[in-house]
């Protein structure tokens, strides 16, 4: 019995030592790999967080397309307004006529601007009323150079150079459902912005529902990056009926030819007619 008890004690002690050694080994192994497992967990959490943010952004994108917020409009106005001017003249009936013009080319001495023919129609006659561009309380005399009545386009020139021109969007970048903005040269912040959606894009023009008031005719119709897609118009009616809630903008590249000289149909580098 004594021998049996001694043997049992030895076995139990050996088993205890084995478990103790194993526990120490597991603890050491856990300590060695803890930092790696912690970093893996943090990486997994970070990835799940980014995935969640991406999912939220994807859900919000259709809502953001419905209406741009004040921050977006303020940024766009700050970007575009240095290149847009309010146009003041007289109509064929002698009443005040207004619109907007935007820079398409400028060198050291002079600047050329696109506007709406409908605004400056009376100035095509001799003698015609003077055309004045207004910016920040300053009045700048402008000369009417060329026009294309069918597309409601006209080209103005002022004897002032070094003005910033607006970039043109690449061809085919206007798509149905895109948010567009018309930027006039009249506003307390140097301009004003109306916004809408593209309803249709065709060879005739860009159909959209951004409001085009009198001060907005001739204004650049731009995308969210401030790139010009077309020229806002209240008179352009390629389908033969007058626009009401939905307007047609003349694609900006349609100005190349009769109104502007553009290399390979691209942005204006000179003007003439």
Q: Is the pLDDT of residue 260 over 90?
A: no
pLDDT of amino acid 148: 95
pLDDT of amino acid 106: 94
Q: What is the token pair recorded at 138?
A: 């300053």
User: 79-90: per-residue pLDDT in tens?
Assistant: 999 999 999 999
Tell me the mean pLDDT in the region 116-126.
95
Tell me the mean pLDDT in the region 162-188.
91
User: 36-46: per-residue pLDDT in tens?
Assistant: 777 877 787 77
Question: Lowest mean pLDDT: which of 108-112, 115-119, 139-143, 261-265?
Answer: 261-265
Domain ranges of the chain: 1-66, 68-273
pLDDT of amino acid 272: 47
More confident residue, 89 or 5: 89
Q: Is the pLDDT of residue 271 over 50?
A: no
Which range in 61-70, 71-80, 96-105, 198-207 is most confidently predicted, on average pLDDT?
A: 96-105
Residue 114: which pLDDT band, with cuts at 50, 70 and 90? very high
Q: Percent of the chain scored above 90 by pLDDT? A: 55
pLDDT of amino acid 61: 53
pLDDT of amino acid 39: 80
Q: Is the pLDDT of residue 63 over 50?
A: no
Question: Lowest mean pLDDT: which of 38-52, 90-104, 182-196, 202-216?
Answer: 38-52
Widest CA span of the chain, in angstroms? 135
Residue 160: which pLDDT band, with cuts at 50, 70 and 90? very high
Measured at the alpha carbon of residue 150, what is the angle toward residues 147 and 153, in degrees to the nearest 5?
35
More confident residue, 172 or 209: 209
pTM for the predicted model, two decimal places: 0.72
* Residue showing tokens 């140097």: 190
Residues 6+ apart with CB under 8 A from 235: 116, 117, 118, 152, 217
Query: Bridge partners of 97?
Result: 89
Q: Is the pLDDT of residue 164 over 70?
A: yes
More confident residue, 247 or 258: 247
Topology of domain 68-273, CATH: Thrombin, subunit H (2.40.10)
**b/e map of 213-223 (b: 16 or more CB within 10 Å)?**
bbbbbbbbbbb
Distance CA 67, CA 264 (A): 35
Task: Supply the mean pLDDT for the chain.
Answer: 83
Chain centroid to CA 217: 19
């Amino acid at each position: 019995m004594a021998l049996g008890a001694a043997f049992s004690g030895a076995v139990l002690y050996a088993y205890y030592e084995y478990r103790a050694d194993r526990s120490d080994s597991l603890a050491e192994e856990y300590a060695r790999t803890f930092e790696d497992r912690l970093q893996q967990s943090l990486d997994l959490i970070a990835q799940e967080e980014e995935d969640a943010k991406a999912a939220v952004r994807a859900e919000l994108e259709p809502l953001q397309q419905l209406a741009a917020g004040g921050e977006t409009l303020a940024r766009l106005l700050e970007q575009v307004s240095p290149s847009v001017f309010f146009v003041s003249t007289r109509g064929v009936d002698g009443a005040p006529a207004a619109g907007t013009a935007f820079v398409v080319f400028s060198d050291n001495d002079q600047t050329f601007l696109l506007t709406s023919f409908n605004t400056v129609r009376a100035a095509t006659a001799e003698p015609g009323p003077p055309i004045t561009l207004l910016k920040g309380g300053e009045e700048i005399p402008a000369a009417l150079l060329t026009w294309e009545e069918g597309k409601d386009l006209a080209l103005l020139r002022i004897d002032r150079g070094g003005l910033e021109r607006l970039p043109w969007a690449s061809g085919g970048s206007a798509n149905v459902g895109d948010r567009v903005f018309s930027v006039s040269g009249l506003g307390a912040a140097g301009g004003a912005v109306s916004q809408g959606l593209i309803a249709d894009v065709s060879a005739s023009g860009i159909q959209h529902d951004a409001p085009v008031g009198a001060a907005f005719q001739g204004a650049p119709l731009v995308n969210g990056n401030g790139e010009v897609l077309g020229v806002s118009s209240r008179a352009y009616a390629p389908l033969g009926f007058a626009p009401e809630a939905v307007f047609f903008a003349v694609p900006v590249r349609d100005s190349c030819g009769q109104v502007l000289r553009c290399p390979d149909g691209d942005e204006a580098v000179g003007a003439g007619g």
